Structure 1
Amino acid sequence: MTPSPDTPAATTGAVSAVGGAFASLREQLTGAAEAFAGSRGGLDGILTGLVDDVDRALREPLEVFPVCHHSPASALAMVQRLRAKQPSVIYLELCEDLEPLLIELRNCKLPVALQAFASELDGHPEGWAPLSVVAPITAASAEYQAIAYALETPGVELVLVDRSTDHVFQWLPKKPGKPENDEEAELHGDAVGLEIGDLRPGFAELEEHLLHHGKVRHWSEWWDQYVEQPLVGADYDTYRQVMVLIGSLFRRLRPSDAAKHDRDEDRERYMWTRMREHLARTGTDRSRALYVCGAFHAASHVAEFGADAAPTDFTISERTGTKWLYGMIPSSHSAIEAQFGLTPGSVSIAAATWQKAVSKTGAKPFALGGKGARSERALADKKLAASPPTPAQTEIALRKAALPKPVDKLSGFLSRPPRLDDRDEAELLGWCVDIVRLARRNGYLSSTADAIAIFETSILLAGMRGRARPTPYDFQDAAITCIEKDSVPGRRDVRRLCEILLGGDRIGSVGYYSLPPLARDVYDRLEPLGLNLEARTVQRALLDLAGRPDLVPASRLLWRLRYLLPSEAVRPIMGERRLGEKASIQESWDLAIGKYQRSLIELGYEGVAVEQVLEQRLRQGVRAPEATAATALAAVEDAILYLDSPTFVNELGARAVELLGAERTVDDAPAVLRRIRRLLAHYRATEPELPEWCEQFVVAGYAHYCTLLPTAFVDEQTGVRQVAAMLGFLFSLESLALTLGCDRAQLELAVAQSHPETPAKLALVWAANVQLGTLSRAELRERCDELLDNPLVLPAFPQYLSGFVQALEPVPNLAPFVVEVLSKAFGRLPDPVLLPWLPSLITTLRDQAGELVPALVREAGRTFPGTLPALDAFVPPWEAPPPAASSRPVANGPVTDLLLAHPAGTDALVGVLGLDPSWPRPHTSAGGPSPAVAALLAGYPESAAALAALLPV
């Protein structure tokens, strides 16, 4: 590891020119480096550079307050310094465009996160949409104390000086896909997280070295033992110097990532530029100001560092045209830990440490009041403006604000071991008793003996790790060792129980008055349900829509929220909403809107009402580049179910017609067929006539699928299911299409031009020809019998069967023949062919033809006997001999004369039955009908008698 090469030479010279309070410490470190390394090489530059950074930060006239994110020591030092200095201006390292949100913290329960959200991008890669930035705020953080002080103290100005959320993404590398982010957290989603004072070693080797010699397992534990605990009770000068020293160390010992290095320095230039602009614009006395930033940035090396820095050529770029929306979302300790890579439980332990430190030191933290505090502060501001401070008051304030000259506190802090608190046996005993009680409630077989063991083990572990007082981490390890053993009987392990005991995963919430208009509207419209929708528990809502018609609007809203929010936020238990079904008269819902408040708030970024957001999403879905006719028809269904807007439904339907005509593939043909059938049935049942877009869709689909049918039959990429759906569209909607002006010859020509090569598609062509009347069932039966008699074709015969099963979609009356072919296949196919095919048949029926199976089963039930004794004497209809001709002569009469005079109908019937349709010459009174006609009349005398009864003879 070498010193950072970017340290300006002017900076080092300026520091060395000033003898400074750290001259002695610098000489000691130089001697230590020479004694350790044998020369004044890179180590000397690092050690003396650390002291130079501390000296430079402390000599800055604009007081720099270094902090670490979610650090109780930083928060406590902030409280003490604010009460002592009482600054009139606070510059805070936070995105400057988030400043209007800070006032809304009054109505929130911490932790919460400030959020900036953008769904329509202008100037950023489209693949990044939507963009989201969150800045979590906890009570045990220095930034919250500064915010609360500024908002609650009259005359104090809070200025956010960090780059805007738009610049956050401007400075990211323009890579395809979403911007890189830390681990996703439940409440933060994939938002980019912002935090103040991210202190962690950049080198993995350095972190490993610190953990090994500190006898700790992870970074959070090292920080708590060697920084947090020693600094909690330290004076302000010591705290400030140590934090800058640590920030300088991690800044100098970090990987040479040029891109990240440049972004960090650009942030520092940005912040100092904004502060100098504010000082020049307002004329604020810099001695009355406080700059709150991360310790990493307090040790900055940029030329712009300092209120008196010379002008540079650094310019702040303009924001892009992206429209950003701002709001508050709930956060939690676990969400913060997951997003920023902290150890689970570390933020909860920090919160517990903060409460204990406040109680021990007697400090009075700052906190934001409720809704009434806003008017009180406004009144105080008016009084302040009316009566400006007197010169004496100003002089007193300046004396308090005066920063004493730097005094070397680092030498003493670094030369002596950290001062640790004595063991608090009462606290440790309370932890041990409570964890045993909590473990018993969660299924562990723990007892008083385990409490004693945890107490002694905690002390033992603390001693092994060089601690006088067991920390929460020691207690946690001891509890796991003594209670958990080798199994977890319930949902929570002992580590999680310890986190709950020490403070738990606190989850914040956004108050009603800080919600966007859409979220407030949802709460107002659901108020008749009489539920606490802000609770994070699941609320059961029972709606008697018949007895209480006033709940119908709430029911409609719940169905719309069901569509927009995550499935667990609004979940129907009883009741459903589908096309063609009546609305339920009773409904039951499980509501967890409080738990999914973040999702509800983000809906507010898209519109001012739920109906508007739903309409926008449906419109965006059908206008997206990847939209298809099937997605447009799905949007039509959703619009009918959830929106009362026929005009909007017609708009979506017209878009579906456009998309269908533009498609060049038939991948979505099954979905198109299923949805258009459902929509047509809905309109026929509810409307006097079909909408214009439905008629246009049928006409366009008829022509579209006729055109693509020959190509689909020979295309290897088009599946049998898709071709069957195309034929199903053409045949099932043929009558409607013909009434709308389509030509049946187009369909006949398309089928005639189809010459597939695969067996399954060939079976589909045969079925289509049967439906069109160009192929009789007798001829189809002969073809199948020939296939079964050909040994070379037997291995491929299951594929023909798959095609016939799929043919039930366009030709449902083919079900008896499919049952016949399946029966013949099971009876005549050899086992080596039949057995491997059975699994694929089952999966095909389940995945692709699930709606066809009931028709097939019903037909099989009609064909085969229902009892076992009848099965022994069962003869399949296709194997039964044709009925014998009756020896009884057929008398001449009006029926015979009628059949002979009009033979076309009888010819068609005889052809269907597979008989010879030849006719003799017209018979005389002495003769009789042909043998074929005689056999037909003798075999079916009831039909002849019924016909004769209708004739006036």
Structure 2
Amino acid sequence: MSVLDPAATAIRLFDAERNLHFFPIRHHSPACALHLREALRVIRPSAVLIEGPVDFEPLITELLAPGVVPPVAMVALPDAAEKGRGGTTYYPICRHSPEFVAIQQATELGATVRFIDLPSRHPAMLSDRRDRQDQPLLPMRETMFDRGAYVEAMCARTGFRDGLALWDGLFEARARGTDWRGFFASVGAYCSALRAASDPDELEADGTLPREAMMRSCIQEAIAARSGPIAIITGGFHTPALIDAHTDASRPAGAAARSNAWLVRYDFRALDRLNGYGAGLPLPGFYERVWQRLIGTDDAQSTLTEDILVGFRAHLIEKEPALTFSFPTLQSMVETARRLAELRGLSEPGRTELFDALQSSAIKQEIEVGAHPLLAAFTTYLQGDRLGDLPPGSRLPPLIERTGSEARSLGLSLDDAIPKTRELDIYRKPRHGQTSRFLYAMRLVAPPFAERVKGPDRVYGFRADMLMETWTYAWSPAVEAALIERAGDGETVRDVAAALLIRRLEDLEQEGQRNNAEAAFNLLSIAFDAGIGSAAETLIAAVSEAVGADTQLLRLTNALVIGQALNSRARAMPSDAAIKAFADLLPALLDRLARRIAELLPDLAAVNADNVGGAIACLAALAEAMADPDPPFPTQPLRDALQGLMSAQLDPQLTGAVIALAALVSLIDEAEAGQRLSAALAGAFERPGDAIRTLSGVMALAPQLFVNDSSVITAIDDLFGAVDDQGFLDLLPQLRMAFAELSPQETDKVAAIVAAAHGASEDDLALLQRVPDARVLADHLMLSERLRSQWQADGLAAWLEPAP
């Protein structure tokens, strides 16, 4: 007998002598689910064994509770001992999942239901079953159905374009048949061939063999305890390894079940093979419609093809009118799909026929497969957007219930998994401010829930004048799993967020960063955004400690900018308890921070050219903070320290920056700043490079000092006049960097002053504006110098003299 002979396979699957009935399935297959339901009604088993993690068994009764609306998922969370070993494990269930139908039917028949796979957190189950790290971790994977030598050979023989279309044509098309024995015999023969073509080393590496050892052990236990027929429902790929009797029925090491499992809502987007889900079939919304037709739950008078295509056209009219096609095109699609099904020997059009009909009838131009927006819209439509539901009182941590309740009270929709956009007027509408703080807190606790698209930079003040924030958000299985994972930290989002921030403070200490004032202030800013007033006192005490211990001026000055922005936001936003908790504690903290910076500013006198960039950044941050006309910190200690720096011997670039800062904070006026700068430039006349570096320091903080003082421009012009062409070429890179800080208008102003000093006319300036960029100019000057040297060598020096 051939292993591919369905009759031979049927004998092995349905063993009357042992009263064992093996059902090879594909996860989430409507055809498998319907035939399995009929088979169980006939066999009336006393026990139903299902491929599923044994630690999920306590959730079986919850799956059948009134009010549970699939899709849902059983999830297992890593405990503390498993830190770093994979992520949350998902076992999704939809209405057309054979496993779910088996549980329903077995319960109706009074049979015992058992899961027989390894525990979800067993190492063999955590071998990475994902193509990308952002995909869910699943205890099942069915890529062997879609690719490989056997699948390719079958597609070539039958004319199906890929493994998914092959499965649909061979098996989903037989869903309405009544011969369940023949159906499963064919599935078993197909899966036996897939198994025979598999690499044994891969089966060992991906955890398949220890999982099957666990299943055999559970089957043997059921046989020993049975009182009637036993139905064994597993992925078809495993079935050939389970049918025959084995003596190695001992459980693998570590197979004891530990229950850290929960039932959560799931959605069709996460269930879609096209989004990276490793089992089942693509476009679950389509197969949900197929299932409803198979079990007769819809009363539509039209065919499934008509129902889908008419519904899609109505969807386009409402959502994407630019893509809407005409009614005659709709008729053509329906007819094309029907004829394609006939041509391919199918009882009715399937998923592939619908796409082919759409493409041939509604798209006239040449396209890359899947690239046309109409095909993309149809894919999304057939994917579906259903989000499952659980009844009130389900066994969920209070954190999930309270989070959902708070989100709804703020007007956030959690009814489906479709991403939504929310505009928030954060300063003028108190409820919008509350919503913003909730979303920031959720970014900490369950990051998949929300993303801020635009709004003011509330740490460093970029676009601080914006009054609106824009967020996108969507409730998803990943959000519920994240909330379950954090449930031990508290019963509200803000309690959990506070615990996480305190933990981050502890992480800073472990990383040797407890004295990092900037990092500590960033945590404080996050807490403020999220409205975590309960953490204010603890965080501010930790930040104050960091300020006292930090010796790096750049971190301290950056922290001052963050603290100043915090204070501004606290004054601008409608006050509530959380904001007041921070507002009351910030002044003393900022006072200490400013005095600490003033204490360390004299250290800049020791900075050399190698480290001057960080020192300039410190002064720039200080300039930003002190630009506030009413700063929330004492400025006199800072002004005193800056006055001391002005009389110190500093690196030339730092000298320019100190002069600029002193002018910006009105310690000196612009006239005195120009005099000091001119003097500094004159002092560096014998070292032109130092002069340019001094100018660069000014430009980094206050380029207007250079632009507005003609004496400074004259000093620079005199400097350039004193160097030869090669000296100018050497200075050019530094000069370009210095002048890069100027705006086009400021550059024009400087050019006009220099031109006037040299008697150039407006026509001369216009000509100069067409001069090539500095690199090209440098190349031309070097060429001129080579020509000069060559002419002199050739005795043509007289040519270089200007005409009389």
TM-score normalised per structure 2: 0.69
1:827-848: per-residue Cα shift (whole Å, max 9, x none)? 94799999998996797589xx
Of structures 1 and 2, the larger Rg is shown by 1
Partner of 2:401: 520
* Alignment partner of 2:616 out of 720, 732, 750: 720
* Alignment partner of 1:164 out of 115, 119, 135: 119
1:146: Cα distance to partner? 1.8
Q: Note if 1:675 corresponds to 2:548.
A: no
**Secondary structure in structure 2 of the residue aligned to 1:74:** helix
**Secondary structure in structure 2 of the residue aligned to 1:99:** helix
Partner of 1:351: 288
Q: Note if 1:134 corresponds to 2:90.
A: yes
1:209: Cα distance to partner? 2.6
* Alignment partner of 2:688 out of 788, 793, 803: 793
Distance across 1 between alignment mates of 2:523 and 2:216: 51
Letter of the 2:657 partner, please give it.
L
Q: Which moved more, 1:611-620 or 1:704-713?
A: 704-713
Partner of 2:375: 495
Q: Is the Cα–Cα contact under 8 Å of residues 454 and 479 in structure 1 kept in the other structure? A: yes
1:194: Cα distance to partner? 3.2
* Alignment partner of 2:365 out of 453, 469, 486: 486
Partner of 2:131: 182
**Secondary structure in structure 2 of the residue aligned to 1:299:** helix
Partner of 2:74: 114
Question: How does 1:595-614 map onto structure 2 within 5 Å?
Answer: 595-596=475-476, 598-599=478-479, 602-607=482-487, 608-614=491-497
Distance across 2 between alignment mates of 1:679 and 1:436: 51
Q: Is the Cα–Cα contact under 8 Å of residues 28 and 281 in structure 2 kept in the other structure? A: no
Partner of 1:336: 272
Letter of the 2:81 partner, please give it.
D
Q: Is the Cα–Cα contact under 8 Å of residues 22 and 239 in structure 2 kept in the other structure? A: yes
1:119-147: per-residue Cα shift (whole Å, max 9, x none)? x642443xx57x21112211111011123
Question: How does 1:746-825 map onto structure 2 within 5 Å?
Answer: 756=651, 760-764=653-657, 777=673, 780-786=676-682, 793=688, 799-807=693-701, 816=705, 819-820=708-709, 824=713
Q: Is the Cα–Cα contact under 8 Å of residues 62 and 306 in structure 1 kept in the other structure? A: no
Q: Is the Cα–Cα contact under 8 Å of residues 580 and 682 in structure 1 kept in the other structure? A: no
Question: How does 1:276-295 map onto structure 2 within 5 Å?
Answer: 276-277=220-221, 283-285=225-227, 287-295=228-236
Q: Is the Cα–Cα contact under 8 Å of residues 804 and 818 in structure 1 kept in the other structure? A: no
**Secondary structure in structure 2 of the residue aligned to 1:160:** strand
Q: Is the Cα–Cα contact under 8 Å of residues 451 and 473 in structure 2 kept in the other structure? A: no
Distance across 1 between alignment mates of 2:735 and 2:277: 53
Q: 1:190 to 1:511 in 2, by over 3 A?
A: farther
Distance across 1 between alignment mates of 2:154 and 2:389: 37
Letter of the 1:617 partner, please give it.
L
Q: 1:699 to 1:443 in 2, by over 3 A?
A: closer
1:352-391: per-residue Cα shift (whole Å, max 9, x none)? 33333334999xxxxxxxxxxxxxxxxxxxxxxxxxxxxx
Partner of 1:32: none
**Secondary structure in structure 1 of the residue aligned to 2:188:** helix
Q: Is the Cα–Cα contact under 8 Å of residues 266 and 477 in structure 2 kept in the other structure? A: yes
**Secondary structure in structure 2 of the residue aligned to 1:94:** strand
1:78: Cα distance to partner? 1.6
**Secondary structure in structure 1 of the residue aligned to 2:52:** strand
Q: 1:75 to 1:843 in 2, by over 3 A?
A: farther
Q: Is the Cα–Cα contact under 8 Å of residues 13 and 23 in structure 2 kept in the other structure? A: no
Partner of 2:523: 635
Q: How many residues are aligned here? A: 700
Letter of the 1:563 partner, please give it.
A
Letter of the 1:109 partner, please give it.
V
1:726-763: per-residue Cα shift (whole Å, max 9, x none)? 79889999995998xx9989x8999998754xx53453
Distance across 1 between alignment mates of 2:563 and 2:60: 51
The percent identity for this pair of structures is 19
Question: How does 1:241-252 map onto structure 2 within 5 Å?
Answer: 241-252=185-196
Q: Is the Cα–Cα contact under 8 Å of residues 527 and 536 in structure 2 kept in the other structure? A: yes
1:479: Cα distance to partner? 1.8
1:700-732: per-residue Cα shift (whole Å, max 9, x none)? 555566557735763377473246447988999
Letter of the 2:76 partner, please give it.
A
Gaps of 5+ in 1: 1-25, 30-45, 173-178, 363-423, 582-586, 809-813, 847-852, 865-871, 873-953
Q: Is the Cα–Cα contact under 8 Å of residues 579 and 641 in structure 1 kept in the other structure? A: no
Partner of 2:756: none
* Alignment partner of 2:47 out of 85, 89, 104: 89
1:236: Cα distance to partner? 2.8
1:618: Cα distance to partner? 1.8
Q: 1:802 to 1:255 in 2, by over 3 A?
A: farther
1:166: Cα distance to partner? 1.6
Distance across 2 between alignment mates of 1:82 and 1:694: 73
**Secondary structure in structure 2 of the residue aligned to 1:266:** helix
Distance across 2 between alignment mates of 1:451 and 1:307: 55
Letter of the 1:820 partner, please give it.
D
* Alignment partner of 2:506 out of 613, 623, 627: 623
**Secondary structure in structure 1 of the residue aligned to 2:91:** strand
1:206: Cα distance to partner? 3.1
Q: CA RMSD in A?
A: 5.6
Distance across 2 between alignment mates of 1:344 and 1:154: 29
Q: Note if 1:561 corresponds to 2:439.
A: yes
Q: Is the Cα–Cα contact under 8 Å of residues 101 and 114 in structure 1 kept in the other structure? A: yes
Partner of 1:710: 606
Distance across 1 between alignment mates of 2:685 and 2:405: 74
Partner of 2:247: 309
Partner of 1:55: 12
1:332: Cα distance to partner? 0.8
Q: 1:743 to 1:426 in 2, by over 3 A?
A: closer
Distance across 2 between alignment mates of 1:763 and 1:544: 40
Letter of the 1:159 partner, please give it.
R
Q: 1:134 to 1:797 in 2, by over 3 A?
A: farther
**Secondary structure in structure 2 of the residue aligned to 1:331:** coil
Partner of 1:896: none
Q: Is the Cα–Cα contact under 8 Å of residues 558 and 570 in structure 1 kept in the other structure? A: no
Q: Note if 1:195 corresponds to 2:155.
A: no
Q: Note if 1:144 corresponds to 2:144.
A: no
Letter of the 2:696 partner, please give it.
S
Distance across 2 between alignment mates of 1:251 and 1:825: 85
Q: Is the Cα–Cα contact under 8 Å of residues 760 and 801 in structure 1 kept in the other structure? A: yes
* Alignment partner of 1:68 out of 26, 32, 41: 26
1:630-679: per-residue Cα shift (whole Å, max 9, x none)? 23112223434544647x32321332345456767666455313023445
Partner of 1:326: 262
1:683: Cα distance to partner? 9.5
Q: 1:840 to 1:54 in 2, by over 3 A?
A: farther
Distance across 2 between alignment mates of 1:649 and 1:670: 21
TM-score normalised per structure 1: 0.60
Q: 1:477 to 1:358 in 2, by over 3 A?
A: same
**Secondary structure in structure 2 of the residue aligned to 1:296:** coil
**Secondary structure in structure 2 of the residue aligned to 1:92:** strand
**Secondary structure in structure 2 of the residue aligned to 1:164:** coil
Q: 1:428 to 1:580 in 2, by over 3 A?
A: closer
Q: Which moved more, 1:715-724 or 1:479-488?
A: 715-724
Q: 1:728 to 1:74 in 2, by over 3 A?
A: closer
Q: Is the Cα–Cα contact under 8 Å of residues 334 and 345 in structure 1 kept in the other structure? A: no
Letter of the 1:192 partner, please give it.
L
Gaps of 5+ in 2: 462-466, 573-579, 754-760, 762-804
1:123-182: per-residue Cα shift (whole Å, max 9, x none)? 443xx57x21112211111011123234x538543222222222157753xxxxxx5623
**Secondary structure in structure 2 of the residue aligned to 1:653:** helix
Distance across 2 between alignment mates of 1:493 and 1:658: 57
1:339: Cα distance to partner? 2.3
Partner of 2:797: none
Q: 1:511 to 1:183 in 2, by over 3 A?
A: farther
1:222: Cα distance to partner? 0.8
1:591: Cα distance to partner? 8.9
**Secondary structure in structure 2 of the residue aligned to 1:293:** strand
